[in-house]
Structure 1
Amino acid sequence: MDDQRTSEAGSSTATRTAVVTGAGSGIGRAVALELLRGGWRVALAGRRTETLAETAALAPGADSLTVRTDVSDPGDVENLFTAVRERFGRLDLLFNNAGTFGPGGVAVEDLAYEAWRHVVDTNLNGAFLCAQAAFRLMKEQEPQGGRIINNGSVSAHAPRPRSVAYTATKHALTGLTKSLSLDGRPYRIACGQIDIGNAATDMTERMRAGIPQANGELAVEPVMDVADVARTVRHMAELPLEANVQFATVIATDMPYIGRG
């Protein structure tokens, strides 16, 4: 990729700015580092300042900003995007990545409302709040426009057993992606979604020991290098604004996703 390529928004990659939520670990950290090493300026958002600092330290010399952010808190989200505007002056990319699986293995009838609400507040409400703030900034800035990429999951298409809260929010994210994509057209705001299956992170570590399948059995599932996900997000991010990857699915080749159930 040409790190100095000019986007339709008029910024070279070296001067483009991104916000990555959930940047303190996992997919968020991998994507943030891929962008930073590619010359992007990146605001690292997450709930733990120490892990955000660790991410920033992995790209020495790169232009990063760490902002402690609980995406389910409207005040935190407002502070995040105010900090981005004051530090960088514009926003070219939001990677809406922060999320939680919630309690695993809990039957629908036993899932506490508080647990349901926590997953919805983080995965769906948090994604909406960040997208709304990014939309406002991208609409008002000059040159106008930018890109939002939502982290969907293959669970936006097919659920795992006993994952009702996570699956419901990931299906809802697909609707959010489509609505943002449509509503962003007049303002040159593109929105796409990446659906990821079994990237090797702390969240998927349990898959190496065996995870419940739809037939009730436990099975070890293959995983893929999270760097491959990060490269895919960067490709989506660096397209000119007249092109958009609406939906991309990136999975471990042999995972039991196609035909799940």
Structure 2
Amino acid sequence: MLKQSVPSVMQPKAGEEERVELTLVDPREIMRECLAAALAEADQAFSITALAALPPSWRNGFPTGRLRIALLNGEKGDSAALAADVTALLGPHGFDHVIALCAKGDAASMVDALGAGAAAVVPADASLDLLRHVVRLVMAGGTYAPASALQALEPGPAPKVAKPAAVAGLPPLTPRQAAVVEALRRGKPNKLIAYELNMCESTVKVHLRTVMKKMRAQSRTHLATMMGRHEALALSA
């Protein structure tokens, strides 16, 4: 649960470049204050608000309208709770992006945070310089996940998909198209599909648009429903 807390705000100095607005959410006072101070020292463009939790009054919008990114502590190992907090930050609290700080090797929390919409996940033992660069990357519209998390998610080479017999009424799909559609059918968002299949999110969108055109599907949901009615995917040679 996100509870009320009094914010500690580090204000910009006169004459400095336009600030990146960050909100660090961590119930551990010493850890959040130290990290906030270190980030402010590492990059003068960061204007940081350190909170134990978000005040309920922010659920319908920000008092200043300035906050953009949340740095969320997710080291407890409760992946479901972390995903719920990410969803709340991006929804009722109105943040543009969320960066989740997860325990090293906690692939479940990292994957769930990404699935909930987090723009980046960073191991809690990462260097300050890496975290600074991830914040900059996210502000530029990028995403980030450590290689170790992806390797933990997919420890070995992806199993080969057997080529099934063609199904009447189903147009042929390439193996990559079939993999993307199968992930969509399982309810995974584009960002997570891209991570799991080692492709760009834009490539996932291209595959989905192509298949939607082949199937004459009107939406992602429509496509997933249509594909779910077939027992197999027809793959092109």
Q: TM-score, normalised by structure 2?
A: 0.40
Q: TM-score, normalised by structure 1?
A: 0.37
Q: Greater relative contact order (Cα 8 A, min sep 6): structure 1 or 2?
A: 1
